[in-house]
């Protein structure tokens, strides 16, 4: 263990006694807050924790690393600095700002919520935890984060980091993928969290999980403010806890991606309004791995220079795309509902999901 300020911060379990969960969590409060105020990362949304900024950052951080979010957050704030701006932005412009973050339903829900905020709340986020949960795209975690950080309300914000930290500290062998386990942890944290600074408390738990009690690899127990309180560390169970039910294997789909070029313009098209990547623009594709000699026939053309492109793979939450690609330089326009755009227009105006990145970078 590092011999530093932590020697003074650690709370020791009384000799011959075993703390219950609530006692253990209460004992963790002060060490957590002291550690957080000294070691927290400096992040743009933390320096100005206004409701709108906290909301946008929390939605962006879902399924996305902090370092990846930073430039997106700054760009988003510059383009859409308030709720009204978000409510009025066109969907194409919004999705272009979101391009690369993935999970595009998050962006659409932001706009739906902003429209509702303008209509019902005068363009301001409500301070009520229960009212926040009624907004599109906001669940218990995000509502708790906004309410506690922006409005200083004593409500929990339990994400995967918090589930892992508390499970390890209390030695819990419960499956953290179960909603009932998360709900019980929310209730427990609500009972013990310090009422004077709930936002910092929630962020401290999240921060410990993000940079000390890490999700992948060996936790940095020697740097943890909860070292002396952690049952998993004491019993060498950090490789076992947290307990998670095994994930269902992802389905593999094979796709052939086409870069169709005619007179310096590239063909894109809009996907169906339902299903994977709904209503987003895409490079034309074909189901399966279509061999080069069948491309002209499949497109219904007689002429065209076809160049093979590298294979690529993209992983969604439940599906994997295994792709091959071809660049097709056309002398005639094939039938189909295509939009022909310049590479500059594709770069500045139209949002194509990261699933096509291996091929769009060959255009740009």
Q: At 51, list the tokens.
A: 């409701």
Q: What is the DSSP string of 186-250?
A: HHHHHHHS-TT-HHHHHHHHHHHHHHTS-SSS---GGG-TTGGG-HHHHTT-TTTPSB-PPPPPP
251-262 and 319-329 as β-strands: parallel, antiparallel, unpaired? Answer: parallel
Distance CA 296, CA 245 (A): 47
Helices of type H across the chain: 6-9, 21-39, 44-47, 51-61, 66-79, 83-88, 91-98, 105-121, 129-132, 140-151, 160-170, 179-192, 198-211, 231-234, 295-299, 343-348, 357-363
| CA–CA distances in Å: residue 217 to residues 40, 222, 277 | 21, 14, 32
Task: Find the angle CA(99)-CA(105)-CA(106) to the nearest 5 degrees.
Answer: 75
Is residue 293 within 8 A of residue 361, CB to CB? The reply is no
Active-site annotation holds for 207:
no
Is residue 121 within 8 A of residue 113, CB to CB? The reply is no
> 13, 47, 50, 58: which one is catalytic?
58
Helices of type H across 48-90: 51-61, 66-79, 83-88
What b/e string do you get for 40-54 counting C-beta neighbours within 10 Å, with b at 16 or more?
eeebebbeebebbbb
**How far is CA 104 from its chain centroid?**
11
Q: Which residues are catalytic?
A: 58
């Amino acid at each position: 263990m590092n011999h530093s300020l932590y020697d003074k911060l650690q709370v020791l379990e009384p000799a011959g006694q075993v703390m219950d969960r609530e006692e253990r969590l209460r004992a963790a409060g002060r060490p957590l807050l002291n550690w957080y105020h000294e070691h927290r990362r400096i992040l743009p949304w933390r320096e100005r924790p206004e409701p709108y900024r906290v909301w946008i950052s929390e939605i962006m951080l879902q399924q996305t690393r902090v370092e990846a979010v930073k430039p997106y957050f700054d760009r988003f704030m510059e383009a859409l600095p308030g709720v009204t701006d978000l409510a009025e932005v066109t969907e194409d412009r919004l999705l272009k700002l979101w391009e690369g973050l993935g999970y595009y339903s998050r962006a659409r829900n932001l706009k739906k919520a902003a429209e509702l905020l303008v209509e019902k709340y005068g363009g301001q986020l409500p301070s009520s935890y229960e009212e926040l949960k009624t907004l599109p795209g906001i669940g218990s975690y995000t509502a708790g984060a906004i309410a506690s950080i922006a409005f200083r309300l004593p409500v929990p914000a339990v994400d995967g980091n918090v589930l892992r930290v508390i499970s390890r500290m209390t030695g819990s062998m419960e499956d953290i993928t179960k909603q009932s386990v998360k709900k019980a942890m929310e209730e427990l944290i609500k009972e013990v969290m310090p009422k004077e600074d709930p936002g910092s408390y929630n962020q401290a738990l999240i921060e410990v999980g993000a940079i000390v009690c890490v999700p992948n690899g060996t936790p940095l127990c020697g740097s943890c403010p909860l070292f002396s309180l952690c049952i998993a560390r004491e019993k060498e169970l950090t490789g076992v806890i947290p307990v998670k039910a095994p994930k269902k294997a992802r389905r593999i789909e094979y796709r052939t991606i086409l870069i169709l070029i005619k007179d310096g313009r590239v063909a894109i098209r809009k996907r169906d309004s339902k299903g994977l990547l709904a209503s987003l623009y895409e490079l034309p594709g074909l189901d399966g791995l279509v061999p080069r000699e069948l491309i002209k026939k499949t497109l219904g053309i007689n002429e065209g220079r076809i160049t093979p492109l590298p294979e690529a793979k993209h992983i969604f939450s439940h599906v994997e795309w295994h792709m091959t690609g071809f660049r097709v330089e056309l002398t005639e326009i094939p039938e189909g509902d295509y939009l022909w755009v310049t590479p500059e227009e594709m770069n500045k105006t139209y949002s194509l999901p990261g699933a096509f990145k291996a091929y769009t970078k060959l255009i740009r």
